[in-house]
Amino acid sequence: MTIKTILTEPNKILRQISKPVEKVGKEEQILMDDMLETMYNAKGIGLAAIQIGIPKRIIVLDISKEENDKTPMFFVNPVVKNKNIELSTYEEGCLSVPNQFAEIDRPSECKVEYLDYNGEKKFLEAKGLLATCIQHEMDHLEGILFIDYLSKLKKTMIIKKLSKQKGKADRIVV
Ligand code: ZN
């Protein structure tokens, strides 16, 4: 397993729409392993393939938060079949929007159809944190970030801040 570099906003790649996976083969499984390792290393609970620059409709999640009892979940080509109209609010962050958090409303439950790590068709009824995480990650597949739900002013401020941080990281004085 390899830890990959997580792309951060602003980055045009994060705005791409990811393509469906035709078949879950060895290549996709290696990608899922790498994504999981990358996510754990960054202390995240979810990661979409596009966040490491691969425009495939693949998501990994682990909301267990247990160091010794890891419960990874893999979603290939996830499709939301049904959303609850009732909303729930979580303070969201994102590995691609480092150190920024905001309260976001999303449907509190959703039903998702997807392929698992072995390419088998699965169906999941997600609630609470899991439902929020799946929806957050599925947004990545459409090139959407959680900051897109904020007011234009807030979003601009966050992107400016992130651009500044990036500028600093690249600056070398010798
Ligand atoms: Zn994210």
Domains contained in the chain, number = 1
- Distance from residue 173's CA to the centre of ligand 1 (Å): 33
CA–CA gap between residue 57 and residue 69 (Å, rounded): 26
Max CA distance (Å), the chain: 57
Mean pLDDT for the chain?
A: 94
Per DSSP, the residues of 126-138 read EEHHHHHHHHHHH
Supply the pLDDT for residue 104. 96
Question: Residue 136 corresponds to which tokens in the numbers above?
Answer: 């957050």
pLDDT at residue 170, as a whole number: 58
DSSP 79: E
- Establish if 1 belongs to a structural domain: no
Q: What is the pLDDT of residue 171?
A: 58
Task: Report how far ligand 1's centroid is from the alpha carbon of 136 (Å).
Answer: 6
Residue 48 sits in which domain range?
12-169
Q: Which of 64, 61, 129 is nearest to 92 (CA)?
A: 129
**Which residue ranges of the chain lie beneath pLDDT 50?**
none
Distance 12 CA to ligand 1 centre (A): 15
CA of 27 to the centre of ligand 1 (A): 23
Supply the pTM of this predicted model: 0.93
CA of 98 to the centre of ligand 1 (A): 10
Distance 59 CA to ligand 1 centre (A): 10
Q: Tokens in use for 22?
A: 């035709």
What is the tens place of the pLDDT at every residue in 52-65?
Answer: 999 999 999 999 97
Is residue 174 included in any domain, yes or no? no
Closest to 57 measured CA to CA, from 92, 31, 83? 31
- Do the domain assignments include residue 66? yes
- The per-residue pLDDT for 132 is 96
Catalytic residues: 137
Per the domain annotation, does 7 fall within a domain? no
Residue 142, in any domain of the structure: yes
CATH (domain of 70) = 3.90.45.10
Three-class SS state of 15: helix
DSSP 8-state secondary structure symbol assigned to residue 49: G
Residue 4 lies in a domain: no
The DSSP secondary structure of 9-46, one letter per residue, reads SS-GGGGSPPBPPS---HHHHHHHHHHHHHHHHTT-SE
Strands 73-83 and 46-48, sheet pairing: unpaired
Please tell me the distance from the alpha carbon of residue 12 to that of residue 8, in angstroms, as a whole number. Answer: 10
Strand 58-61 with 46-48, pairing: antiparallel
- Answer whether residue 98 is part of any domain: yes
